[in-house]
Amino acid sequence: MKIEIIVPSKQTYVPNQWRKVLHLFSLTGPAIAASIPSDVEVSLTEQSVDEIDYEREIDMVCISTMTSTAVKAYRIADTYREKRPDVKVLLGGIHASMLPDEAIAHADAVVIGESEELWPEIIADFRSGSMKKFYRCAELPDLCRLNPPRRELHAAKCLYVFNTIQTSRGCPYKCRFCSVHLFSGGKYRTRPVDDVIDEIRNLKGRYLFFMDDNPTGNVPYAKELFRKMIGLNKKWFSQVHISIADDDELLLLAKKAGLTVVGIGLESIIGDSLKATAKPKVSLEKYKENIRKLHKHGIIVLGSFIYGFDDDDEDVFERTIRFAQECKIDHASFHILTPYPGTAFYDQLKEEGRLNESLGWDHYTTRNAVFRPSGMNQDPDKLNKGILWSYREFYSLPSVWKRLKLNRHLPLYLTASLVFYFGTHKDERITERKEAKSLGLRVFLSTLEWAEKKILDSASSSLAKKRAAM
């Protein structure tokens, strides 16, 4: 039996051509593959870096869905059902789990929730010709019994790959706009520390990204993990809560274990807006103090901001950028509050008639306003323009220069800043170069374009050689 796992691509501000240079692969496909019985042959396609081969000889295709990729997932599923009626089509993931009745219109079966413990049943039903329409796990999987993800399925997909790992699932914060607790449960579930350490030891390369929503949520567990990571010579990145800087021992252990970059959900600088979150409230002064503390330990800070709360007015964009620059946040991501199906926020907007139901799921990217924001005269276009302005302003060359720090992370800071600059200023760079009155500015912008092309050409050549050698 042969199964193909497909992870549809999603929109980001990182230009598509850069994804084959440096890519952070999802653990979704390799984790699913690890749960499928060993006598089944499994292949994986990540659409962001590879083409789907509809002619591949398979018996079943399993397509993972997020809300932002649901339209693509359904299109892929429909194509298989049209071109390959001999192939059974399964849909799973968080979107299909929230809306199984919608998903089943495009598939033979829908997997609801985390799938690890369901695969023996799915395979047995397929072999006996008695597949059900819906598969739902009675209980959340025990993370003590997980097999290591099959990372070899990622081989030769791009030039440089960040290793990814997961130590926990679930979240105790029941934010009205978030679906994590609905899908993975309302408490932290953790893997055995020794299992995680063994997996890290077996990973090639030095760089590692924790896919957890918050690996420091269980502090005693995190401290034990970090103690055992010391000496493994890894540099790692992760999302964490800002409170990591309140515990000096935790922060020091994380740093000694190789913590290099933290992504922090700062959400909003408007105090009243944070009522929509269930996280502990933190003042702006406390944010600044803890960011300084992280910087003092030599840790790069990526702050994540959300626009569109009911108390956000049209000044929120400028105030947020000013705050981010004052804190000298190294990198930032900006998002529009998005009502995902199944959440209390989605139900609220639908009941109030503020949800734009004419927009498809492919607009649910956190980069598009899909509802009318009450604090901006219910004009969604103000959110759309505001988020783009925020990226362009934060990653403008003067802003990058203003936040620059002369330390060992300078090359990483400049590289990441330029990638975002390339992604958010493409059209503007061409116009700026053509209209620039200063010869120096024209030369500088032309040099940026030349450098981008050289890097990508070199990466494509190296990738081709890497694939040929396998």
User: For residues 223 and 266, which has the higher predicted lDDT (pLDDT)?
Assistant: 223
Please state the CATH superfamily assignment of the domain spanning residues 2-136 in this structure. Cobalamin-binding domain (3.40.50.280)
Tens digit of each residue's pLDDT (9 = 90 or more) over 331-374 = 999 999 999 999 999 999 999 999 999 999 999 999 999 999 99
Tens digit of each residue's pLDDT (9 = 90 or more) over 442-466 = 444 555 555 556 555 555 555 455 5
pLDDT band per the 50, 70, 90 thresholds, residue 180: confident
Which of 423-441 are b and which e, b meaning 16 or more Cβ less than 10 Å from the residue's Cβ? Answer: bbbeeebeeebeeeeeeee
Query: Token digits for 407?
Result: 């330390």
Q: How far apart are CA 118 and CA 122, in angstroms?
A: 6
First to last CA, the chain: 25
Tens digit of each residue's pLDDT (9 = 90 or more) over 271-284 = 666 665 666 677 88
For the domain bounded by 159-409, which CATH number is listed?
3.80.30.20
User: For residues 63 and 20, which has the higher predicted lDDT (pLDDT)?
Assistant: 63
> Which pLDDT score is estimated for 91?
98
Tens digit of each residue's pLDDT (9 = 90 or more) over 398-422 = 888 777 765 666 666 666 676 666 6
Asked if the domains 2-136 and 159-409 are classified in one and the same CATH topology, the answer is no
Q: How far apart are CA 437 and CA 178, in angstroms?
A: 48
Tens digit of each residue's pLDDT (9 = 90 or more) over 284-321 = 899 999 999 999 999 999 999 999 998 899 999 999 99
Cα–chain center distance at 227: 27
Map out the domains of the chain as residue ranges. 2-136, 159-409, 425-468
